[in-house]
Amino acid sequence: MARYIFITGGVVSSLGKGLASAALGAALQARGYSVRLRKLDPYLNVDPGTMSPYQHGECFVTDDGAETDLDLGHYERFTGRPCNKRDNITTGRIYQDILTKERRGDYLGGTVQVIPHVTDEIKNFVLDGNDEYDFVLCEIGGTVGDIEALPFFEAIRQLGNELPRGHAIYIHLTLMPYIPSAGELKTKPTQHSVKELRSIGIAPDILLVRCDRPIPEGERRKLSLFCNVRESAVIQALDVKTIYEVPLAYHHEGLDNEVLNAFGIEDRNEPDLSQWEQIVETIKNPEGEVTIAVVGKYTSLLDAYKSLIEALTHGGIANRVKVNLEWIESEVFEQEDPTPYLSHVHGILVPGGFGERGAAGKIEAVRFARERNVPYFGICFGMQMAVVEAARNLAGIEKASSTEFGPTEEPIVGLMTEWVQGNERQVRLADGDMGGTMRLGAYPASLSAGSRIADVYGSTSISERHRHRYEVNASYRDRLEEAGMRFAGTSPDGFLPETVEYPDHPWFIGVQYHPELKSRPFEPHPLFSSFIAAAVEQSRLV
């Protein structure tokens, strides 16, 4: 039977519960255990699909088409296990399901209440489908004391009593701030956070304390005494140079051993963390470096590009180089010449995005990369803008545009109204709901033999994750190919363009999907590995 680890947070948000959960999962995997990670989000949105990246950061998409929290990206990258729609739940989804049941009459006239109906739904979600796993790690979003999180805390409190003895533990992640004027690390924020947690019936077994310097023994004993945990269970979580060092750091501090002790498991075998050591050594001791310009519209909040940042890092690992990122707000190029910003970079990447703001600037970045022979990687919207740029500047279609920006005489990019998913035809309306209506999840694609992208993949058949509502208009394909752009990949039926490239360019590829979602530190995505390799070649010319 699976054992459950509930990870809660206190003091402030954004301390890294998702990263801590992923790193602990990786450490347990290194000991030979099977793990599953799940995220419980207290907000009322059904999912983050309609939330602004400024509000929530990246929306991570799974193979089965779920729009989820960005922490699921950490889970996949650290454990290698693909997540699915049953690994992330929100208050909105829970209430949606409960109200559907109530309207259907499932509750037989009973009064629907937070306890037991909402808490039962949460518990059912936590317990469902875990028979094949040794450990299930459940992260509760937000912080203790958040009013919207109370049903989740109540549910995991109940599970602590309902599961067999020794099958559930609680880890509480807190902040231990350093006060320069006092010259001390302060324990009071953690003490108050644990007091709040205990007031709702949850006593943490392990404290994971974020700090920027080692915790003195006196403060460690104080936390142990006032928070009622063993001194060995006060684990310091120090800042590290790369997130891929976190599993090593946590093991060094004894977190995985303390977790096993809390469950009463005697395991004297040391985990095999050699692959993490190799990754960290490669990151800390690169053989060179390249500079990549990321021209986007959410550059003031880098969490909006979390998977992209990590995938570029993975590309650097594959080539043993450090990847320096220069973030450029695309609107700048609508007013200024891109040359001073881009002449020194070794690669240009235009990521996904939504809406007209900044689109003209992205088109200028595409043009610079094409004309100056700088390696270019366009992802989703970045591919669409590459096609619009080709239509305007190579094919002579001056009014080429996207219907995403409004009515246009030349809809090079248009709203998708139907497509095939598996054996079913999907239909969407222009004025329909926004949430969950995009082309979401893994879809197969066919690549042309002999194309650059087929060579990169080493295959003509691939499957990649999508998240988009607009698609390149295939009726313009012939005119664009006559102008020099090659449509190297399509959906298996040949109807939907999936990839474009320029055969005579050093490295210019646009893809409609999001390859960054499937990149792992131990298995860098081939497109990112190839893009960074092209940037390395470019660095020898600049």
DSSP string computed for 445-471: EEE-TTSHHHHHHTSSEEEEEEEESEE
Cis peptide bond prior to 116, omega within 30° of 0: yes
Sequence-separated (6 or more) residues with CB below 8 Å from residue 540: none
Sequence-separated (6 or more) residues with CB below 8 Å from residue 516: 307, 308, 310, 311, 379, 525, 528
> Which ranges of 163-305 does DSSP label H, i.e. alpha helix?
188-199, 217-227, 246-253, 255-262, 274-284
Length of the chain in terms of residues written: 542
* Residue 514 annotated among the catalytic residues of the structure: yes
In what helix (H) or strand (E) does residue 135 lie, and over which residues does it extend?
Answer: strand 135-140
Q: Spot the catalytic one: 117, 380, 389, 466.
A: 380
* Residue 83 annotated among the catalytic residues of the structure: no
Which residues on adjacent β-strands are paired with residue 217?
none
* Residue 59 annotated among the catalytic residues of the structure: no
Spatial separation of the C-alpha atoms in residues 301 and 55, rounded to whole Å: 9
Spatial separation of the C-alpha atoms in residues 372 and 512, rounded to whole Å: 23
The overall longest dimension of the chain from CA atoms, in Å, is 75
**Pick from 323, 384, 393: which is nearest to 351 by CA?**
384
Spatial separation of the C-alpha atoms in residues 540 and 431, rounded to whole Å: 50
Task: For residue 281, count CB atoms less than 10 angstroms from its CB and return exposed for 0-12, middle for 13-18, buried for 19 or more.
Answer: exposed
**Three-state secondary structure call for residue 509:** strand
Q: Spot the catalytic one: 251, 314, 466, 514.
A: 514
In what helix (H) or strand (E) does residue 151 lie, and over which residues does it extend?
Answer: helix 150-162
**Three-state secondary structure call for residue 171:** strand
> Which ranges of 285-420 does DSSP label H, i.e. alpha helix?
306-319, 339-342, 359-372, 381-393
Sequence-separated (6 or more) residues with CB below 8 Å from residue 30: 247, 251, 271, 272, 273, 276
Q: Spot the catalytic one: 227, 464, 516, 525.
A: 516
Spatial separation of the C-alpha atoms in residues 405 and 356, rounded to whole Å: 5
Cα separations (Å) of 296 from 68, 308, 351, 359, 492?
Answer: 21, 12, 6, 9, 30
Q: Which residues are catalytic?
A: 380, 514, 516
